[in-house]
Structure 1
């Protein structure tokens, strides 16, 4: 059965961030993810995980001036020192939290970027991914890249599964993986069943995420038949985590009917 991780950046917003660990555990989650840990001491986050029997399964490396609108810097020429220091900081947190995955965001590019400029962004990203994967391998951490739809994040450098998998193949590092968010993939490409059947068996997918389409609410509302998709994931033997990266429509706990229904459908825990 798929294993579900609560995304504490988007879920449980009715609680202060540090109290969201307890809330997720109380709802039966065994793992959590979130965007960034850096506003908190690693020891405090470690204590919250231990106190509530949770695993930390994913967070992002520092992604530039987030509040000013940046969405990563790894594909931006001239930001090399920032990328490297950010990866090192992320790996320090990953070690403290026993987190095996770090997402390295590419960043935004101008909509009028020329093919030559886009090629330079790609080369920059590949160089940084290779360096980050080598650095992370010594810590037994996977570096992830995620295609993101241009409606939610206009200008994001990486948008399709094919692009992401091509980059992973080109770098050739066994610990560089694709973060397959079914919400983003449905908006950009659709055909999710075929995508899962094509890409999960390759071993290049390191993490899944889910949300309802089109409004990014609970995954059982909107375009997706999540019972079917989860059954496909189960059938394919994917043993990673599926992050619940969505905005609850009302209270988080009240909106978890989809998860209890799937547990009843398949049997088992979160």
Structure 2
């Protein structure tokens, strides 16, 4: 008897990274024209919620992930979850993000950790704040029927970011012990920081602690069809592991149009391996 055919991989266009030649609200239609049924983005709060909702509805798209407000981004802040003394700000943006997620039908919200100075005692205090804030946020997410995620980010792209390693993220999620707090595993960051990607995927995906994947080539953060990762192996491995969640396309197109760089995805779709 032949083995059952693996479920196709589900890819979501990151509208903060793709189709940037267009105004943000016009990127929804561009993604739909390219066959995407799911999208993600960084900061939908920067746009009228009614307009975002309308673009999703008009184009038959599901918003699968977005970031809660990260603090003063222009002033250098990269999240609030691990910032001692900013707990009230963190709680406000989490509550606002969960309200936005409900209105937009989005199941997951990413909570950025923030930057941490490398000074004696500073990281310990930041980590204590981070864990307490995430435990509270997981409770809020459970009450709202949503999930919040945390993402290890490599220190080359974001120097000083509090959370860098997969093991730290998984240990934190395991300690808090809520199914409403999950790891957002970006394979670009994971390869740069941890390497040994297959082993990490085999340990992480069956655990149930991973709620979302993202992809980009290493080292240039372009389309996932080049660089040091063996992408056919990665797609095979994800299907072998039965990954059925979304995979966010958070990469920087090498060409002037994201559409022109989607040959890798069209090939997977033609083979019946992606939607």
Cα distance in structure 1, aligned partners of 2:49 and 2:176: 30
Cα distance in structure 2, aligned partners of 1:33 and 1:166: 26
| Selected match of 2:17 from 10, 19, 28 | 10
| Deviation larger for 116-125 or 173-182 | 116-125
Q: Is the 8 A contact 2:214 2:249 kept in 1?
A: yes
Deviation at 1:268, TM superposition (A): 5.0
3-state secondary structure, aligned to 1:33: strand
Question: What are the within-5 Å matches in structure 2 for residues 84-95 of structure 1?
Answer: 84-95=91-102
Is 1:41 the equivalent of 2:48? Answer: yes
Deviation at 1:269, TM superposition (A): 4.7
Q: Is the 8 A contact 2:65 2:110 kept in 1?
A: yes
Is 1:258 the equivalent of 2:264? Answer: yes
What are structure 2's unaligned runs of at least 5 residues? Answer: 1-7
Residue deviations 1:65-103, cap 9 Å, x none? Answer: 111111101101000110000001101110111100000
Question: What are the within-5 Å matches in structure 2 for residues 76-225 of structure 1?
Answer: 76-110=83-117, 112-114=118-120, 116-225=121-230
Deviation at 1:264, TM superposition (A): 2.7
Question: What are the within-5 Å matches in structure 2 for residues 228-243 of structure 1?
Answer: 228-243=233-248
Q: Is the 8 A contact 2:9 2:273 kept in 1?
A: no
Q: Is the 8 A contact 2:12 2:246 kept in 1?
A: yes
Q: Is the 8 A contact 1:43 1:96 kept in 2?
A: no
Q: Is the 8 A contact 1:100 1:141 kept in 2?
A: yes
Deviation at 1:113, TM superposition (A): 1.9
Cα distance in structure 1, aligned partners of 2:171 and 2:115: 19
Runs of 4+ in 1 over 4 A off after TM superposition: none
Is 1:19 the equivalent of 2:26? Answer: yes
Cα distance in structure 2, aligned partners of 1:227 and 1:262: 10
Q: Is the 8 A contact 1:28 1:269 kept in 2?
A: no
Cα distance in structure 2, aligned partners of 1:150 and 1:73: 17
Residue deviations 1:208-227, cap 9 Å, x none? Answer: 00001101011111111222
Deviation at 1:235, TM superposition (A): 1.3
What are structure 1's unaligned runs of at least 5 residues? Answer: none
Cα distance in structure 1, aligned partners of 2:46 and 2:209: 31
Cα 1:225/1:264, change in 2 over 3 Å: farther
3-state secondary structure, aligned to 2:140: helix
Q: TM-score, normalised by structure 2?
A: 0.95
Q: Is the 8 A contact 2:116 2:122 kept in 1?
A: no
